[in-house]
A and B are shown apart, each in its own frame.
Chain A
Amino acid sequence: MGLRSAANGTGKVQFRTTATGPASNSVTLQLGANGTPAACFVNGRFGSPSVADRDATIEARHGSPSRTVGTLPLMVRIRKNAIRLTAGERRRFLSAFAVLNNSSFPVFRAVHTELTTDEAHGRQGFYPWHRAYLLDLERALQAIDPSVALPYWRFDQPAADLFTAGYLGAPAPGGWVNLAPSNPLAAWTTEQGVGIRRTMRFAPSSKAGVISETATLATAATYQPFWDPTEIDPHGAAHMSFAGDLSDPGTAPRDPLFFLLHCNVDRLWAKWQVRNRRFNPTNQSTYLPQGAGQQNNGARRIGHCVQDTMWPWNGIVGGVRPATAPRAPFPSSPSTPAPAAKPTVASMTDWQGVIDNRTRLGFDYDDVKYEPQP
């Protein structure tokens, strides 16, 4: 029996006979005579993501001459550069976000307030915590529309298209953005009122005031000296490229652009990981500090050591943790068993499942290759 990725779909897949073996565009499997299934591994083909649900197809072929005996439609769902989404992808993303705004989005805002002062910022857990936060939101969007993935704002390049009335809002007098009547975000509200408060401190046709991706990735080859300066630049610098809600840690998530900004921050970490092969959470070059954290606000504060579970999803309150933990437990996904309901810092490091396929988190980036390690 042969499997192949259909030629006529936008999304394409590849096959491996083992989790870490070489990939090819088709595979031949020996099925047992008594119907025993044969397993293989499937991943999206780099450079050929889907643009809509079910635009990729696996064809099962049999016989001589070979003919198609069955098909399985699926989606190669990938986080993309926000300015490269098709019109349909953009509309679905904005729609899902608008629906979320009317349901559970206040809780996402409530999580990223001063409560995250010690849980998510200023310490090494910054990257893994935000990876979990984004994934939590993305899964909430996918519960509304499974074809949606979070796009990223590539802030070290011009992205004029993003700052238009049909997308994340065009600059307008008074400090608020203009949103077209047909834009699903036109009805965006928070507890503070109607609309998105954002003023650009750079021209829409220019890049934001951040260091380049090249410089970011070259910062260091091990985690600690990579995280330390990059939390400030490009991350903090991207936030401060605006006036308005994005410019304050407590108000930033009121602006939907926050999630595209952080999606790029996460993508940079992902690219750095792939470049330096940093997936193994027990390796100090991948992540520090190792071991379990302590109940104090010192260098080994709980929540930032690799074995620690992360607030709020762990539901733990009290001690040095906040008194409340909305959004616990972490939502499950139909496409992967990871992470657990109380995700650890470690569970965020091998997001592609290159070492252990079971740790894959169910997302990836359009320009980050998947190369499992033998």
Chain B
Amino acid sequence: MSPSTGRQSGARELVRIIVDPDAKARPRTEAIEAATTIATTRPTLMDALLRTVTDRTSPVTVRRAALRALQVNRFRTSAFAPFQPRYFESLRAIATDTDEELRASALETLAANGDEYGQRLLVEGLRDSTVALVDPAHAVGMLGADIHGQDFTLLRELARSQDKTTRRSALRVLAADTGSVALFRKIARDKNEDRVARATSAVALQALAPRTFKKVAEEVALDERDHPEIRATLLNALAHDVNVKPSARLREQLPALDAAPAQVRAAAKLVADREAER
């Protein structure tokens, strides 16, 4: 048998096992693993993987293995391109799957690639938790992968969520919205706020409104009554920002921060060192 014929019969056998409805899960997943590094050069193998992902009669472990094999191969982008239409069609088909891992993985890729259907499902789930396909914090993060897929009004509502994780996620993604600067300024200054929310808000200001960020960062950094963690975060952000020069007032006050808590002191030193280098 020629090597080429041998490889083809090897691929044929792998296909046979992968799609065999009567085979146990383990040999099927093993066949999928064996097929992974050669799949894009064998359309029949790709076809088998794509069919298996959407086949709800197959064991979920087999379907997950098939999806992983496809995802790994997608990093060979030009070799994967011929299969992309069917791949995205398959992802949409499993976006509402009963298996959470399959649907989360599908929605992640769809949203990151600006897919209208995937984004619509995620937004619908955020508006109505009874149809949510993933938890809200993850949904927000997935939508955040594409700034052009955002619903900023919805995000601002979620930024008021009682659920801390969801709220933090919403604030992170809202940092793409120049219309949220006032919100971030308010949260960053509020000592009663959740510290992660404050830090996120301050960093968002750095990205969206550098002059406002500088003002707020210096104000907080020099406030002895504020949380050391927040003060350190903002000083750290200032130290690494080549576009924002600390004010004369902050530069003068830096030596006084030698008496501050350790993390504030360390961050203040970073700012001082950067200023010395400029």
Contacts of A122 in B (CB 8 A): 40, 76-81
Task: Tell whether, in the assembled complex, residue B141 and residue A176 are in contact, meaning their CB atoms are under 8 Å apart.
Answer: yes
Task: Tell whether, in the assembled complex, residue B75 and residue A99 are in contact, meaning their CB atoms are under 8 Å apart.
Answer: no
Compute how far the CA of A297 lies from the CA of B105 in the bound complex, rounded to whole angstroms. Answer: 30
Of B17-25, B228-236, B249-257, the one contacting chain A is B228-236
Task: Give chain B nearest CB distance to A185 CB in angstroms.
Answer: 9
Contacts of B112 in A (CB 8 A): 245, 248, 250-251
Return the contact of A175 from the options B113, B137, B204, B267 (Cβ within 8 A).
B137
Task: Give chain B nearest CB distance to A253 CB in angstroms.
Answer: 13
Q: Is B104 an interface residue (CB 8 A)?
A: yes
Task: Tell whether, in the assembled complex, residue A191 and residue B145 are in contact, meaning their CB atoms are under 8 Å apart.
Answer: no
Chain A residue with minimal CB distance to B200?
A194
Task: Give chain B nearest CB distance to A302 CB in angstroms.
Answer: 13
Compute how far the CA of A197 lies from the CA of B142 in the bound complex, rounded to whole angstroms. Answer: 9
Task: Tell whether, in the assembled complex, residue B141 and residue A117 are in contact, meaning their CB atoms are under 8 Å apart.
Answer: no
Contacts of B142 in A (CB 8 A): 175
Compute how far the CA of A102 lies from the CA of B77 in the bound complex, rounded to whole angstroms. Answer: 29
Q: Is A243 an interface residue (CB 8 A)?
A: yes
Number of residue pairs spanning A and B whose beta carbons lie under 8 angstroms apart: 167
Interface string of B207-235 (1 = CB under 8 A from A): 10000000000000000000001101100
Contacts of A189 in B (CB 8 A): 175, 203-204, 206-207
Task: Tell whether, in the assembled complex, residue A194 and residue B204 are in contact, meaning their CB atoms are under 8 Å apart.
Answer: yes
Chain A residue with minimal CB distance to B205?
A194
Q: Is B118 an interface residue (CB 8 A)?
A: no
Contacts of B145 in A (CB 8 A): 192, 197, 245, 248, 251
Of A231-239, A268-276, A324-332, the one contacting chain B is A231-239
Q: Is B96 an interface residue (CB 8 A)?
A: no
Task: Tell whether, in the assembled complex, residue B204 and residue A193 are in contact, meaning their CB atoms are under 8 Å apart.
Answer: yes
Return the contact of B263 from the options A182, A194, A245 (Cβ within 8 A).
A182
Question: Known contacts being A182-B263, A243-B108, A251-B112, is A193 close to B76, with CB within 8 Å?
Answer: no
Q: Is B266 an interface residue (CB 8 A)?
A: yes
Total contacting residues, chain B, CB less than 8 A: 63
Total contacting residues, chain A, CB less than 8 A: 50
Question: Known contacts being A194-B204, A229-B37, A240-B68, is A187 close to B237, with CB within 8 Å?
Answer: yes
In chain A, positions 172-193 with a C-beta closer than 8 Å to chain B are: 173-176, 181-184, 186-189, 191-193
Task: Tell whether, in the assembled complex, residue A176 and residue B263 are in contact, meaning their CB atoms are under 8 Å apart.
Answer: no
Compute how far the CA of A303 lies from the CA of B98 in the bound complex, rounded to whole angstroms. Answer: 44
Contacts of B240 in A (CB 8 A): 95, 98-99, 101-102, 184, 187
Task: Tell whether, in the assembled complex, residue A194 and residue B75 are in contact, meaning their CB atoms are under 8 Å apart.
Answer: no
Return the contact of B236 from the options A118, A187, A191, A232 (Cβ within 8 A).
A187
Chain B residue with minimal CB distance to A116?
B77
Task: Tell whether, in the assembled complex, residue B144 and residue A249 are in contact, meaning their CB atoms are under 8 Å apart.
Answer: no
Contacts of B29 in A (CB 8 A): none
Question: Known contacts being A174-B141, A175-B137, A248-B109, is A181 close to B233, with CB within 8 Å?
Answer: yes
Task: Tell whether, in the assembled complex, residue A193 and residue B144 are in contact, meaning their CB atoms are under 8 Å apart.
Answer: yes
Task: Give chain A nearest CB distance to B59 CB in angstroms.
Answer: 19
Interface residues of chain B, those whose CB is within 8 Å of chain A, are 36-38, 40, 68, 71-81, 104-105, 108-109, 112-113, 135, 137-138, 140-142, 144-147, 165-166, 168-169, 171-176, 199-200, 203-204, 206-207, 229-230, 232-233, 236-237, 239-243, 263, 266-267, 270
A-B contact pairs, 25 of them (CB 8 A): A101-B240, A102-B242, A118-B78, A182-B266, A182-B267, A184-B236, A186-B199, A186-B236, A189-B206, A191-B147, A192-B147, A193-B172, A193-B173, A193-B175, A194-B204, A195-B200, A232-B76, A233-B72, A236-B72, A236-B74, A240-B68, A240-B71, A244-B108, A248-B113, A250-B113
